Structure formats: C-alpha cells, structure tokens
Amino acid sequence: MTATPAALAEDAAARGPVVRRLLARPELGAVVGAVAVLVFFAVAADDFLRPAGLGTVLYASSTIGIMAVPVALLMIGGEFDLSAGVMVTSSALVSSMFSYQMTANVWAGVVVSLLVTLAMGLFNGWTLTRTRLPSFIITLGTFLMLTGLNLGLTKLIGGTVSTKAIGDMEGFASARAVFASEVTVGGFQLRITIVWWLALVAAATWILLRTRAGNWVFAVGGNAQAARAVGVPVDRTRIGLYAGVALAAWISGQHLLFSYDVVQSSEGVGNELIYIAAAVIGGCLLTGGYGSAAGAAVGALIFGMTSKGIVYAQWDPNWFKFFLGAMLLLATLLNAWIRRRAEASS
C-alpha cells in the first residue's frame, strides 16, 4: 500500500513527541558516543566483545562510575569537588591504618573510615555554605590538604608511603567479599563494584526523578537565589550532595584497600578530573541545573571501553589521554547541539 500525504503527516505528528522527549534527555549524546566507541573497538580488537573482555571493560567502567554518579549529582546542583580523587585514597588509608595500629577487627577500620570520609564531605559542604566561596577554591584547598595528609601521616605512622598488609587480620575476608569480590560465569568475570555501580545509578536516578530532594538539586543548580526564595533548603541540599560524594569515595576506597591489601598514599591524584569528565560526557552542564545519573554512568562506560579497547587493540596506551580529551570535546559539542535542538522543538 502507498502511504498518502495525510497518513505521513499523522505518522510524523505521532512520532514528534517521542523525538522531542529523546532530544530532551541529557544522556542522548553519551549513548550515541558509547555506541560509536563500542562498534569501533569491536572491529579494531578481536577480544573486545568476548566475555573476558566485556568483564574487564565493565570493571574499569564501574571503578570510575561509582564516583562519577555522585559527582554528576553535585554538578547538577551547580558545584564541583576537586578533592574526590584523593578522598578515595584517604578513605582507604584510614581504614587500613586504624585496623593495623589498633590491631582491631578490620570492620572497625571500615566503620571509622566511613565516619571520617563523611566528615570530609560535610566539611566541604559546610565551608561552602558558610563562606560563599566558589566550590572550586574550597575543594582545591581540601584536595591539597588531603594530598599532604595522605603522604605525611602515612610516612609518619608507618615509616613508608604505603600501608602495612592487613590480609591476615580478622574480618578481612568478609570485608573483601563486600567490597572486592568477584564471580566468574562462562568466562565473564562479575566484580562486586559493578553491582555497587548499578545500585548507585538506580538510587541516584530515583532521587533525581522521583523525590522532592531531586527537584531541589535541579532548582539549586539552575538558580540558587530563586530556589531559596521559594523555600528550597539550598544549604542543606549542597551539604547533602557533598556527603553523597564522600559516601561514594568511601565505597571506592574500601574496594581499593581490599583488592590490593595495601594502599599507596600517593594514589588518586588526578582522578577527580576523570570523574568530572565522565559526568560532562554524560550530559551534565558546567553551569549546573542539567544532567542525569544515567548519563554519568554512560560517560564512565565510555572511559572503560576506551581504556581497555586500546589495550585489546594493542595500541600504545599513551594515546589514551588523547582519546579521552577528544571524546570530552566532541561529547560537549554534541550535547550542546542536542540541547539546542530540544529547546527549538519544544
């Protein structure tokens, strides 16, 4: 049958709202980019799509995604956290050194680490709300202080820049099962971090789209003064977002510790930029008020596919940072174009 002009017009009208909804999704550009990267490395690297390869890619993505998701929520709220990378290391160091020095059950160190890490996040949020200084300055200061503390205290207490092994201490096996376990099924290695990652994405998406707190995050990021005028608790929202970043840093820190048994105090420097880049690739705006947790997860997936795809393709790994920078620029341009199209069609 030949479609009449009237039928074609009806079909276009029916599809119009769907197209507009797709264009309005902040993660659309990241999904397009992820598909392109997947196809590219599937052709360039034979082992990329095999079960072992996919397990490695998802693991690499999860270690970034656990932090990228709360960082994305913070960016939607209009703020940054440059201390997120070293905070992960700080969390691992506190857990390890407390357990070793106190000869306590490893779980005691895990709990103390949670309290200390949350205090770091609350400090960032409280200082921001009290001083009204830009979050860039406050968290840059926290970044420098934590970097110095990680190195200085570890060397002062242990005599070296790395922690002592705690693998033979009570509670290590059970803690490792929670934070660093793995299951192999048919050649596919499922790491527990993937489960943590997906759980955080689901929780963050539910908060953003189904709760009043999610509305507050978008409102604060869009226009903090207008949000305050209509009764949104701007300060509490910002502090809560920083606490969320700290919680994810604690999870990542425990994974770091229980995966390797020892922690190098110099680790984590520079990772905060990767978390921010993953959120931006996923559709978050640097100006706040726009983005999604799912987009940040896709951005982390792109990082994981690129880092491991280069290895499987047997390329020089020094090209990794070049590809990341190129993807960041392209994703930002694509997201901006998609947003303009969405605004034009609304």
Residue type, 194: I
Confidence band, pLDDT 50/70/90 cuts, at residue 21: low
Whether the Cβ atoms of residue 265 and residue 154 lie closer than 8 Å to each other: yes
Closest among 299, 325, 323, 342 to 27, alpha carbons compared: 299
% of the chain residues with pLDDT over 70:
91
Confidence band, pLDDT 50/70/90 cuts, at residue 343: low
Residue 148 confidence (pLDDT): 95
Mean pLDDT score, 166-189: 91
> Angle of helix 212-222 relative to helix 192-210, nearest 10 degrees?
80
Residue 155 confidence (pLDDT): 93
Mean pLDDT score, 305-320: 86
Confidence band, pLDDT 50/70/90 cuts, at residue 318: confident
**Given a cut of 80, is residue 14 above it in pLDDT?**
no
Residue 87 confidence (pLDDT): 97
Confidence band, pLDDT 50/70/90 cuts, at residue 341: low
Beta bridge partners of 264: 162
pLDDT tens, position by position, 32-81: 888 988 998 999 888 888 888 899 999 999 999 999 999 999 999 999 99
**Given a cut of 90, is residue 177 above it in pLDDT?**
yes
| C-beta neighbour count of 338 within 10 angstroms | 20
Phi and psi for 314 in degrees, rounded to 5? 60, 40
Q: How far apart are CA 78 and CA 220, in angstroms?
A: 7
Residue 135 confidence (pLDDT): 94
**Given a cut of 60, is residue 4 above it in pLDDT?**
no
**Given a cut of 70, is residue 17 above it in pLDDT?**
no
**Given a cut of 70, is residue 115 above it in pLDDT?**
yes
Q: How far apart are CA 253 and CA 89, in angstroms?
A: 6
Mean pLDDT of the chain: 88
Element (H, E) at 185: strand 182-185
Report the b/e string of 252-274 with b at 16+ CB within 10 A: bbbbbbbbbbebbbebbeebbeb
Confidence band, pLDDT 50/70/90 cuts, at residue 11: very low
% of the chain residues with pLDDT over 90:
64
Closest among 336, 219, 209, 231 to 285, alpha carbons compared: 336
What pTM was computed for the model?
Answer: 0.90
Give how far the C-alpha of residue 60 lies from the chain's centroid of Cα atoms, to the nearest Å.
12
Whether the Cβ atoms of residue 166 and residue 106 lie closer than 8 Å to each other: yes
Confidence band, pLDDT 50/70/90 cuts, at residue 342: low
**Given a cut of 80, is residue 328 above it in pLDDT?**
no
Instruction: Determine the length of the chain.
Output: 346
Mean pLDDT score, 145-159: 93
CB-side neighbour CA atoms (13 Å) of 255: 24
Say which residues have a Cβ less than 8 Å from residue 327's Cβ, sequence separation at least 6. 33, 37, 281, 302, 306
pLDDT tens, position by position, 195-228: 999 999 999 999 999 999 999 999 999 999 999 9
Q: How far apart are CA 6 and CA 25, in angstroms?
A: 30
Give how far the C-alpha of residue 107 lies from the chain's centroid of Cα atoms, to the nearest Å.
25
Confidence band, pLDDT 50/70/90 cuts, at residue 316: confident
Q: DSSP secondary-structure letter at 319? A: G
Q: How far apart are CA 80 and CA 272, in angstroms?
A: 10
